[in-house]
Chains A and B, each alone.
Chain A
Amino acid sequence: MEVYLDNSATTRVSEKVKNIIIKTMTEDFGNPSSLHMKGVEAERYVKEAREIIAGNLKVKDKEIIFTSCGTESNNLALIGMAMANKRQGNHIITTSIEHASVSNTMKYLKEQGFDITYLKVDKEGHIDLNELREAINDSTIIVSVMYVNNEIGAVEPVREIGKIIKEKNPKTIFHADAIQAFGKYKIYPKKLNIDALSVSGHKIHGPKGIGFLYVSEGIKIKPVIIGGGQQNGMRSGTDNVPGIAGLGAAVKETYENFDEKIKRMYRLKDYFTDNIMSLENVQVNSKKGELSAPHIVSVSFIGVRSEVMLHALEERGIYVSSGSACSSNRHGGSATLESIGLSREALDSTLRFSFSDNTTKEELDYTIDAIKELLPRLRVYVRKK
């Protein structure tokens, strides 16, 4: 049995997505910038994808910029908005648990002369709203907070964050990295006061190499990739038509039977969590229920190094991620897991199980059984003092 529980890393492309990609590669393969019929046909796919995405976010078509991935969306948002707004101020606020595409971009912006404030998180991975309120000042141009954390599934209080930002400094831009959140929550940026939102295609059964950035009309932003002026000059380069069409199809499918799918995922997550929690000396780092995302369960199997457990599960056809890439002779790894205060022991033994709407109870039972069988065996062979 093959059980893929690494859906936060990437997902399988769906049939419909695959078909539209093949079609736009082999039949309707034109360049949307071309004047002839082949170009117009291709442009139709881009337009339709844009409409699907904008429609589901309840935003305008022209507020969607297609990018090559989530990382590019985050780069464009942060660098593009920081550069365009630097006359308003040079202060940026973010959190200590961001994905590298945000945290390393912040390091870059610091080198460019911006002041970066990092908000701490509690042991559940949530920021302190009072700390945020105090951090915002007149020169704060951007607050960037991830919607759902990729390692433990913590959901940040984006609604409250949006409110606080607009109360304290209406000019401050709110950017949300929604790469793990999109498709799990119905996100309406305008209602949440989110000015910019990053999304990636391959986390929602779309292809790799495509993502988008929503930027609210009126927000000042400079392009990062310069060229032929495609997408109103905001992101030059020939439109990735197969990617865009595939992303559009993936978004459309994601929003079909949305509530039902998410409810089912939560049920499965809680079922899995309950079973895992009942095991001895196991620590679940993500919360049950709606305090955390429906698709991520982070578990520390104390006494078994994460890599060993990962490969042992792999031998049984179960694919997961290690929470932090630590090994006995090289420490370093997850900023998130350290930020929520995990002990060294827990850090070294953390695995992430991430589900998709295709995950079944049968697959989870198989996984739970495998863990129950492996844990005592692997714990015998811990490194002796």
Chain B
Amino acid sequence: MEFKSFLIKYAEIGVKGKNKFIFEDALVKQINTALKKTDGTFKVYKETGRIYADALSEYDYDEVIEALQRVFGIAGICPLVQIEDKGFEDLKQNVILYMEEVYGHKNLTFKVNARRARKNYEKTSVEINMDMGEALLNAFSEYSVDVHNPQVMLNIEIRKHINIYSMTIPGPGGMPVGTAGKAMLLLSGGIDSPVAGYMAAKRGVQLEATYFHAPPYTSERAKQKVIDLAKQVALYSGPVRVNVVNFTDVQLYIYEKCPHDELTIIMKRVMFKIAEHFARESGCLGLITGESIGQVSSQTLQSLGVINEVCTMPVFRPVIAFDKQDIVDMAIKIGTYDISIQPFEDCCTTFVAKHPVTKPSLERIRKSEENLSENIDRLVREAIESTQVIIAG
């Protein structure tokens, strides 16, 4: 007995009214993309308000479940056993075999839930429920029926074939990627920004990313680490276009001209400006950062405000109210943590002052930035022009 098909349950998409088909089609597309990377061949289709993925070939069960669990929009995955209709007696034998294999002889409560899409079947749904329940009670002395709160909900669907299923493997939830437009993720080599990207993607946002590279202060390996992070996020979000901005000259110029306790703030203001430039160019609807209130000096509310001021696009901060440990837990779950903790520096850590400002005033920062007026526009332009684009995933 093997699972020939998967019933895909989706949560929020169900309530999207007339736009429902857009979401469903996006989900079918994402499932197709995910399954193409596995060893099997599948047919993914919509049928009477549900999505099915039928296996057309041999496949690796664990690999397929893992792939489906990365598709945003899926609430649950139900592996189906599909049998030909050879009469009710045959169905009974198959169901007993199914229960034997999946649960075996142990104490459990169950309920049979039959659905009859093909109305010419020999029994009604109610009859199937009753007769199958009886057959199971006879076959397994350990089982008992509980119609209100069963441990096992045994579903039997009479269609062209007959589907038997009882397990629901949780999916990641969220919405299919691409249904919420595109946004620009400011990606560093740290723990927070990949998690922020993941969370936005989970709400259906397609990701593009910008990374600030500062050779020789940051190494090729630091850049590779960021690309690896983007690839890991891309497992969920689909391919991510990464803009690698050569930031060294801008950074050195700021370092030369501005008070050192304000370096990080001013540097981040320029970073946001550059990221926003790329965001506009590629039709993004906002920026995404991994900032979290109070985590470091540039993430106090005052600092966030002063940095944000350079942008006219909305800046989304999915982990803004998360504790560090919560972000770490999530990073471990999505597989970015091990990459993030590799010890290559990003350009923020190289130029951090010992005691940076925690409550910057916009007025003072603007005054400090006047020192940059001579060359900053040219340097920013050059940084933008020398940007390298890498597609991750």
Contact = CB atoms under 8 A, between A and B. Distances in A.
A310 B216 CA distance: 8
A315 B216 contact: yes
Nearest to B261: A384
28 contacts: A307-B216, A307-B345, A308-B216, A308-B217, A308-B350, A310-B216, A311-B216, A311-B218, A311-B220, A312-B216, A313-B216, A315-B215, A315-B216, A327-B343, A328-B349, A328-B350, A329-B343, A329-B349, A330-B343, A380-B256, A381-B217, A381-B252, A381-B351, A383-B350, A384-B260, A384-B353, A384-B354, A385-B354
A177 B213 CA distance: 41
Interface in A363-385: 380-381, 383-385
Contact of B219 (A311, A328, A384, A385): A311
A314 B343 contact: no
Contacts of B252: 381
B221 to A, nearest CB: 10
A373 to B, nearest CB: 13
B352 interface: yes
A328 B345 contact: yes
Contact of A327 (B256, B345, B351): B345
Nearest to B259: A384
Interface of A: 307-315, 327-330, 380-381, 383-385
Contacts of B343: 327, 329-330
Nearest to B219: A311
A165 to B, nearest CB: 40
B316 interface: no
Interface string B325-350: 00000000000000000010100011
Nearest to B255: A381
Interface residues of B, number: 18
Interface in B171-203: none
A311 B354 CA distance: 24
B170 to A, nearest CB: 37
A307 B217 CA distance: 8
Contacts of B353: 383-384
A385 B260 CA distance: 9
A72 B215 CA distance: 36
| 6 A-B pairs closest in CB distance | A311-B216, A312-B216, A384-B260, A385-B354, A330-B343, A384-B353
Contact of A307 (B219, B255, B260): B219
Q: Is chain B's interface secondary structure helix, strand, loop, or mixed overall?
A: loop
Question: Is chain A's binding surface mostly helix, strand, loop or mixed?
Answer: helix
Contacts of B350: 308, 328, 383
Contacts of A311: 215-220
Nearest to A326: B343
Contacts of A327: 343, 345
B374 to A, nearest CB: 18
A228 B219 CA distance: 45
Contacts of B219: 307, 311
A383 B354 contact: yes
Contact of B352 (A309, A310, A313, A383): A383
Nearest to A314: B216
A311 B223 CA distance: 13
Contacts of B351: 381, 383
Contacts of A380: 256
A381 B352 CA distance: 11
B290 to A, nearest CB: 18
A359 to B, nearest CB: 23
Query: In this complex, which of B217, B218, B349 has the most chain A Cβ atoms within 10 angstroms of its Cβ?
Result: B217
A310 B354 CA distance: 24
A308 B255 CA distance: 16
Contacts of A314: 216
A89 to B, nearest CB: 41
Interface in B240-269: 252, 255-256, 260
A81 to B, nearest CB: 36
Interface string B49-82: 0000000000000000000000000000000000
Contacts of B217: 308, 311, 381
Most buried by B among A327, A328, A329, A384: A384
Nearest to A374: B216
Nearest to B251: A381
A311 B248 CA distance: 13
A213 to B, nearest CB: 33
A384 B255 CA distance: 10
Contacts of B354: 383-385
